[in-house]
C-alpha cells in the first residue's frame, strides 16, 4: 500500500515536472516570439524611415533640377520646357508674353562689392519680380544675370503696363552689400507678345536676344518691343550666346 502511494506520488511529481517543463518551453518560445516580433517591427520601422528619407531626397533632387538653387526661380531647362509647352491663347483678346531681361553693369557689382553681393542682387530682384506675377506666370534664370519671364494669357491692353511694372520694380529693388552699402541696379529688357503657342523657343529667344542687344546699345535701362520697334544690329550681336 505504501509502495503504491509512493509510486503514485512519483508519477504525479513526474507529471508536474513535465508540465512545468512544457510551461517553461512555452514561455521561452513566447519570449523568443516577442523578441522576433520586436525585431520585425524595428526592421519595418527602419525600412519605412529609409523609404521616407529616400523619397524626400528624390523630391528635393527633383525640385533642385527644376529650380535655380540661388534664386529659386525656374532653372534654365525647366523654364524652356514651360515656355515650349505654352499653347495658343484661348481668348482672342489675350496674348502670351515673353520678356527677357539682363541686369545692367552687373559685373561692376561683383567687381566692386564681391560675388556675395551680386548673389544678393539676383535673389532680391527675383523675389521682387515674383510679387508681380500671377499664378500661371513663370520666371526662370537662363544663366548669370539673364532672366526670362512668361506671362500667360495676358490681356492685350495690359501688356506694356505689366512689362513696365516689372522694369520699374527691378530698378526700385534695394539690396545690401556685405559692408552694409544699400544698392540698386537697373535692367535692359526686351519682350514680345503673340496669341500663338510658344513651342519654337529657339526662334523666339533669338528675336528677344537681338532686341535685348538693341536695348543695351540704346543706353541700357530701357525696354524694347521686339516685334514692333526697329532693331539695328552690329554684326557682333550675332555672336551672343543662344540657349
147-185 residue pLDDT tens: 999 999 999 999 999 999 999 999 999 999 999 999 999
Dihedral, 67, 73, 75, 77 alpha carbons, nearest 10: 120
Nearest Cα neighbor of 84 from 148, 162, 166, 160 is: 148
Pick the more confident residue, 24 or 124: 124
Average pLDDT over residues 54-80: 76
Q: Return the half-sphere exposure (C-beta side, CA atoms, 13 A cut-off) of residue 38.
A: 6
Average pLDDT over residues 59-73: 74
| Stretch among 7-16, 187-196, 232-241 having the lowest mean pLDDT | 232-241
| Average pLDDT value for the chain | 85
pLDDT > 60? residue 60: no
Amino acid at each position: 500500500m505504501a509502495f503504491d502511494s509512493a509510486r503514485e506520488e512519483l508519477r504525479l511529481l513526474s507529471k508536474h515536472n513535465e508540465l512545468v517543463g512544457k510551461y517553461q518551453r512555452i514561455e521561452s518560445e513566447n519570449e523568443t516570439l516577442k523578441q522576433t516580433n520586436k525585431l520585425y517591427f524595428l526592421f519595418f520601422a527602419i525600412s519605412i524611415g529609409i523609404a521616407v528619407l529616400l523619397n524626400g531626397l528624390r523630391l528635393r533632387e527633383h525640385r533642385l533640377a527644376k529650380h535655380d538653387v540661388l534664386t529659386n526661380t525656374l532653372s534654365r531647362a525647366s523654364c524652356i520646357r514651360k515656355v515650349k509647352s505654352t499653347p495658343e491663347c484661348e481668348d482672342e483678346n489675350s496674348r502670351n508674353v515673353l520678356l527677357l531681361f539682363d541686369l545692367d553693369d552687373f559685373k561692376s557689382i561683383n567687381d566692386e562689392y564681391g560675388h556675395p553681393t551680386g548673389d544678393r542682387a539676383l535673389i532680391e530682384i527675383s523675389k521682387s519680380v515674383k510679387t508681380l506675377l500671377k499664378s500661371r506666370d513663370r520666371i526662370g534664370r537662363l544663366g548669370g544675370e539673364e532672366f526670362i519671364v512668361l506671362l500667360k494669357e495676358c490681356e492685350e491692353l495690359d501688356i506694356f503696363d505689366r512689362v513696365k511694372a516689372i522694369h520699374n520694380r527691378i530698378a526700385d529693388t534695394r539690396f545690401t552689400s556685405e559692408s552694409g552699402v544699400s544698392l540698386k541696379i537697373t535692367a535692359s529688357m526686351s519682350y514680345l507678345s503673340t496669341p500663338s503657342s510658344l513651342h519654337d523657343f529657339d526662334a523666339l529667344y533669338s528675336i528677344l536676344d537681338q532686341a535685348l542687344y538693341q536695348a543695351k546699345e540704346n543706353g541700357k535701362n530701357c525696354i524694347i518691343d521686339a516685334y514692333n520697334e526697329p532693331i539695328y544690329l552690329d554684326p557682333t550681336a550675332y555672336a551672343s550666346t543662344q540657349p
